[in-house]
Each structure stands twice: as C-alpha cells, then as structure tokens.
Amino acid sequence: MHTGSGAARPNRRPNVVWIIADQLRAHSFGYRGDPNVRTPTIDNLARRGIRFDAAVSGAPWCTPFRASLLTSAYPNQNGVDRTPAALDPSTPTIAGAFRESGYHTAWIGKWHLDGSNSSEHYVPPERRGGFSFWRGYENNNAQEDCYLYGGYTDPDDPRYDAESETPTRLPDYETTALTDELLRHLSDHRRASGSRTDAGTPGTPDQADPFFAVLSVQPPHSPYVGPVSGAHTGQAWDPLRPADVVLRPNVPHVARVRDQARLDIAGYCSMVENLDWNIGRLLTGLRALDADRETWVVFLADHGDMLGSHGQWEKSSPWEESIRIPLIVARVGGHQAMRTGVCDAVVNHVDIAPTTLGLCGISRPGWMRGHDYSARCRADREPDDASEPRSAYLQQIPRKYHRHSVNRAWRGVVTRDGWKYVCTPGNDWLLHDLREDPFEQANLCYDTVYQRDKERCHAELLAWIERTGDTFEMPDVELPAG
C-alpha cells in the first residue's frame, strides 16, 4: 500500500475512534429497514465492516452502561449500578490499558460517570477515567445550550491549561460542535506528536503516537429536538413530519400513545440524521489527516429508546427497543485485514473494551470480564466460535421509579439462538422467541408448551447471576409432578 506521493507507507499501529450516541436504538437506521430515517453514512459504514446486529446494552441506563463500557465489569462488580453514580477513580479503565501501550487517549463530550445529573457539575481531572485529554461535561439535556470544559488532564503536562477548566458554551448544535472539537484535537495531536522523533529531530504526522479517541454525544436522547431544519444536516430532503411517521407494530393502538410516539419519533429521526451527517464529517476529517486507512471506527450507543413501543418510553426496560444497540466495527478507509458482514454474536457492554484492544493487537488485561470479539473483525485472525458466550446477561439492579418505565428491579438473559427470558424478584415475567416474534407480542412465559425453553433460559440466567457474583431472588419455575 502506498501514499498518494508514491512513497512507501509506514507500518503504523492502528488508531481507534469510538462514536457513542445516547439512547439510540439499534432499529433506527436505513440498513435496519427503518422507513422513517435516512442514514446514508452509517449505512455505508455498516457495509464496510462488521455489523453486530445482536449486540445489547446489558444495563440499559446511561451511567451503568458507561461504567461497564470503560471497565469491562458488570454494574454489580464496579459499583456503578444506577444513574447517577460515580465511578471510583481507582478502577482501571480501557484508557489506562491503551496508555500503557503507548497510545494517546482522548474523550470528547458527555461523561455521566461522576455522580450527578446536573449540567453544572464539575468533573475534576483525577475523575476523568485516566484519559490523557478530556474535554466534556457530566450531563446535559439541552442540545443548543451545552457547555464544555477540560483539556489535558495532568497538571504536570506542559500542555495543561488551567483556563480550559472554565466552562465554554458550544457555538453550535451539540453533535456538530463536539465533532468539530474532536477533529480539532486529533489534528493538533497529529501535528504536535508528529513534530518530534526519538532523536529529537523534526518528524511528520506519520510518526505521530497512535490514538484512542472517544466522541460521546447526547443526541438522540430526549428532548427530541433536532437542529434547525436545513442547517447542519447536509440533507437534501425535508424533515420528517409526525403525520408521516410509520410506527412499529408493537406501539399500542391507544391514541395518546400513538400521537406522542409520532411527535417524538419525528424529532428523534432529525437528531439521528444530524448524527449521520457528522459521522460523515468525521470520516472525511480522518482522511484529511491521512489517518483513515489505519483507524478503526467503533459505532455504538449506551442503550435504546422505547418511543411508545409496549406503551413505554426511554430506557431501563428489557424489551428490544431498549436493550438492542447499534454496534458497527469498520476500518475507515477500507483495509485488506478487515472482515465485512453480519455477526450474530450477542455482544454485551463488557465485551466492547476487550474487543477494541484486540483490534489493535493488545491483549485483554486480567481485570476485564468481557469477551474479545476482535477476531470477528480482523481477517488475520480466525474466530473461535466455541469460546464465545452463548448468551448475554441483562441487569436493572435498583428499582427504578421513572414514569413510563418498568417500576421493578429485573434480571434477564438473551441467547444466541433467539430467546429472551426476564424475571422480577421472585417472579418469572417474560419469555419470547425473538426469531418468530421480533416485536415481542406473544409472551410465552406461562405457556406450558414452552416449559422446557423456560427452564433452559432460567438455568442460563441463574448461571450468569452466580458467575458475576450478583444477588437476585430467582423464582421456582418447575412444574408440580403429574
């Protein structure tokens, strides 16, 4: 492979960019058949790489997912089981693992790991997950009124700037402005890191330290307000009208539910389309930095959004719209070492960090609990199907009192062969065969025809509870003799 000038391309270590959307369900893309939304950039990204269409958020709530994402530990193991909650700064994270391997690490955007729901909460440098560069905010639900602060996190670093700790209002819609922030930082990093060599002589961007960078955006989290029509979307079409929204079959035929769902989905789709446009800008920016061919992009969300399905809204529910998340792994510029296609592995939140390290040839640290699926993405490795988990563990640990959500603690399991089983304390609740019932309209939990399937899923769930050291009151599902 050669550069445009004809010079031999150096053997660079790969970079990684995580793109994390908030409350973006797996179904809301063109490549997944959603008639309401147009996502040409993400659709192309899905064609370029591996789609993990069975990926789940094992803790479909902002903070528990994010803590598990960074630590590769389940919420009951890392102590972050609710929103808000604070991640113990002594807990090892993927940022530390990358830094130990010589990577520059950067986080841009929403954090929500320091124990607050306030947009005014300040996250001190020592509580920023071990990232070398961190510019973000704790939480914010106003896409046009977002404040950012931070920079290089080590006060002994000559690049540390105390002035950067003063919150600054973003000049644009959040997703657009945060994409600008990331591109600006990566450009600065490539220029500054590539300007030196081990011998102290001038270098080039080819010699820049590899990077692990995260773009974490709040949209399409509620409120469902997209950017001004025609601005910052790059779209050549009119925005979706609520009257034109096509509802999923599991949205109840209740007027108030359907009217609200149409209104919310119209705004939600505008936010997703803006995200799609900004991902296109990010990919173009990586190409402009000549970093596209050695950069893995991992696109994901922290959880989904019910948006009226089963009469529910937002997250923390065990139904598909809440737990299924997009997960696409692709090499930006295309690469002979990259696989393409669809994988049915039930990737969970704890698996994303070890998989990301594996993309870069870095072994999973002993403290990570998840599985490394990088062999599913890299053509130079052979996947070991027998070693992969056959199911994924789902947790809602505290009882959640939010409106339009499940007012119970619950545990569940989804299997690779298409079953889902969910329990509340002392009671079995849901059993679905997702292969024949993807919209979960037939609860088989109390149908004795499916007793063996329930018992198998019950045993699988109990094994996860024991394996992870969780505590939960499981029901007795055996039928009386005779």
CATH at residue 84: 3.40.720.10
Residues 415, 293 share a domain? no
173 lies in some domain: yes
Q: Which of 387, 422, 457 is the last residue of a domain?
A: 387
Q: Where are the alpha helices (DSSP H) in 167-249?
A: 174-193
Residue 432's DSSP bridge partners are: 420
pLDDT at residue 210, rounded to an integer: 97
Q: 404: which 2 tokens?
A: 């339009």
Residues 455, 343 share a domain? no
Residues 414, 383 share a domain? no
Q: 149: which 2 tokens?
A: 């602060």
Residues 331, 251 share a domain? yes
Q: Which of 329, 352, 387 is the last residue of a domain?
A: 387
Q: Where are the alpha helices (DSSP H) in 228-325?
A: 255-288, 320-323
Q: How many domains does the chain have?
A: 2
Of 381, 352, 384, the C-alpha closest to 369 is 352
pLDDT at residue 233, rounded to an integer: 62
State which residues form the domain around 417. 408-468
Q: What is the 8-class DSSP label of residue 115?
A: S
Residues 291, 241 share a domain? yes
Residues 337, 249 share a domain? yes
Residues 232, 364 share a domain? yes
121 lies in some domain: yes
Residues 122, 265 share a domain? yes
User: What is the pLDDT tens value at each position of the chain, 482 positions in all?
Assistant: 233 333 334 557 999 999 999 999 999 999 999 999 999 999 999 999 999 999 999 999 999 999 999 999 999 999 999 999 999 999 999 999 999 999 999 999 999 999 999 999 999 999 999 999 999 999 999 999 999 999 999 998 999 999 999 999 999 999 999 999 999 999 999 998 765 444 344 445 556 899 999 999 999 999 999 997 555 566 677 889 999 999 999 999 999 999 999 999 999 999 999 999 999 999 999 999 999 989 999 999 999 999 999 999 999 999 999 999 999 999 987 666 789 999 999 999 999 999 999 999 999 999 999 999 999 999 999 999 999 999 999 999 999 988 888 999 999 999 999 999 999 999 999 999 999 999 999 999 999 999 999 999 999 999 999 999 999 999 999 988 76
Q: Are 22 and 302 in contact (CB under 8 A)?
A: yes
Residues 313, 187 share a domain? yes
SS3 of residue 6 by DSSP: coil
Of 66, 217, 211, 192, the C-alpha closest to 128 is 66
Give the other-Cβ count within 10 Å of 407's Cβ. Answer: 12
SS3 of residue 468 by DSSP: helix
The residue written with tokens 């479909």 in the block is: 60
pLDDT at residue 9, rounded to an integer: 47
pLDDT at residue 12, rounded to an integer: 78
SS3 of residue 324 by DSSP: strand
Q: 406: which 2 tokens?
A: 């499940």
DSSP 43-96: HHHHHHSEEETT-B-SS-SHHHHHHHHHH-S-HHHHT--SSS-B--TTS--HHH
480 lies in some domain: no
Q: What is the 8-class DSSP label of residue 38?
A: -
Distance between CA atoms of residues 8 and 264, nearest Å: 52
Q: 98: which 2 tokens?
A: 């990358």
Q: 249: which 2 tokens?
A: 């079959």
481 lies in some domain: no
401 lies in some domain: no
Distance between CA atoms of residues 312 and 305, nearest Å: 9
SS3 of residue 327 by DSSP: strand
Distance between CA atoms of residues 94 and 357, nearest Å: 8
SS3 of residue 127 by DSSP: helix
Residues 272, 237 share a domain? yes
301 lies in some domain: yes
pLDDT at residue 334, rounded to an integer: 65
Residues 38, 86 share a domain? yes
User: How many residues does the structure list for the chain?
Assistant: 482
In 402-481, at which residue ranges do the beta strands (DSSP E only) sit? Answer: 410-415, 419-424, 427-433
Own/partner pairs for 456-460, CB < 8 Å, 24+ apart? Answer: 456/419, 457/413, 457/415, 457/419, 457/420, 457/421, 457/431, 458/421, 458/428, 460/390, 460/391, 460/413, 460/415, 460/421
DSSP 133-170: EEEEES----TTS-EEB--B--TTSTT--GGGGS-EE-
8 lies in some domain: no
Distance between CA atoms of residues 317 and 306, nearest Å: 8
Residues 420, 284 share a domain? no
